[in-house]
Every structure is written in C-alpha cells, then in structure tokens.
Amino acid sequence: MLHGFAEGAEVWDFLLPHLDGPWQIFAIDQRGHGLSDRAPEGHYTTFHFVGDIEDFAITLGLQKFSLVGHSMGGRNALVYAALHPHRVERLVVIDYGPELAAEGRRRIVRALKTRRDIFPLEEMIQAFIEENPRLDRPKAEALLRRICKPLGNGLWSWRCDLRLLQAIREGRRVLRDVDLWEFIPRVKCPALLLRGAESDLLRPEGAKKMAEAMVDCRVVEIPEAGHAVPVDNPQATSSAIVHFLS
C-alpha cells in the first residue's frame, strides 16, 4: 500500500480495520516520507520511488503481490506495474491519472504554499477542515497526528522531507515528472481505478479515458469522497478494494 504525497504509511490506518481478507498487508513509508530516510537532493523522481518498490519486494522475497496506491502512490504503483508485470497480480489506483483537472491541482498547490513548516497543531486542524469539508475535527486531528511530528515545544512539523514541500512551492514538477500515458497501456494485470465522487482532481471523463486505455480496468466512484478518498470514506473504499481483490 502506497500513500500519497506528504503523507505516510499510517494514513492507511483509516482503511485497515475494514480490509477483511486472507492477505498480508505491507504499508510502507515511501522515500522522504514518514520514518523513511531522506533522499539526496533530486532523488525523488518517479523512477526512484518505483525502484524502492522493487528493492522492497526483493528484500522480502515477494514474488507476486497486489499494489494499492493513492495519489502519488497511485502514480508510483501504476508505473511499477507497467515495468514489472511479472510481479503485480492486481492494481488499485486511487484518484490519480494522467489527466488531472487544473482546479484540483491549483487547490493542492495553494494549500501547500500556504501551510507553514512549523505550526501549532490546532491551527493546522482548522486549515485541514476548511480545505476538506468532509473532515470533522476528530478525523482531521487523527490524520495530522499520523503525518506530522511533535517538536516538543507545543509546535509540530511535517514528517515528510521539507525539501519536497519547498519544491512544490517553487513550481517544480515533483508530482508530474513522467507521462503516464506511456505506461498505462503496458499494465497487463486487472486494475481498479477508484475515483472520489466529489474529487476536483480526477474528473469522470479523465477516469473513463484512462480505464479505456488499459487492458483490463474498471472504474468505481466512491460516494462522499473528494481526492482524499481513503480518509473521506474508508468503509466504501475498503469494500471496493476487498471486492476487487477477492
């Protein structure tokens, strides 16, 4: 399971209680996120992330497995599945694709530009609720405690590499360094594309076009969810994943 940008493995905590099935689940902190090491400057390309997935599989002796990825994690999962078809049995991409709506991109960049690197937790809780009306206060706090770290003086900071956030603020194409259209037709395994029904990033037409370009892909819309699909509606998201993997 691969998390989104500026998040970490613990965001899957919202989903895990509902993922009933005969599976062993690995949720990893991708490079520069959570408790994983910070990479040297510039070593945050899609191919670096994808290489880490392969190294992880080799180290644990995983021959075949399914991949679930949200947002940035969905991009990394999709490219990995295209480059390593012998390993991936099934692929789940959550609210990400090659054609992202300008409105959603602007919202995300605007939020990243206005968020401070060091902040009181309550300030960021309110900011998250204002940005995502589907979050209530307990869920916003639970999310932030999973993707932030206390500094010991009443202030908090992000658990991802702050250089990644700065790169976004400077307009660098951190999240869009490959053309996914080159990889989508190369995904041979069955795929599931989950779209938040209220997402402003992946539009229905974009999801449909993406699915039609893949060998075997179905699209499922998750109700009462924006781009943060696994957090907004973990029950429906889990149900769709369980049904697909089963």
Domain map of the chain by residue range?
Answer: 9-245
What is the pLDDT at residue 20?
Answer: 87
DSSP reduced 3-state for 127: helix
Mean pLDDT within 212-230: 98
DSSP secondary structure, 10-46, as one string: GGGGGTGGG--SS-----B--TTSTTSPPPPTT--SH
pLDDT at 56: 98
Residue 11 has pLDDT above 90, yes or no: yes
Query: Is the separation of the CB atoms in 102 and 76 below 8 Å?
Result: no
Band of pLDDT at residue 25, cut at 50, 70 and 90: very high
The DSSP string of 140-190 is HHHHHHHHEEE-SSS-EEESS-HHHHHHHHTT--SS--S-GGGTGGG--S-
Query: Thinking of the domain 9-245, which architecture would CATH place it in?
Result: 3-Layer(aba) Sandwich (3.40)
In tens, the pLDDT along 150-196 reads: 998 999 999 999 999 998 888 887 778 999 999 999 999 999 999 99
Q: For the segment 112-139, what is each residue's pLDDT rounded down to a tens digit?
A: 888 999 999 999 999 999 999 999 999 9
29-52 as b/e, with b when 16 or more CB fall inside 10 Å? bbbbbbebeebeeeebebebbbeb
Rounded to 5 degrees, φ, ψ at 204 are -55, -40
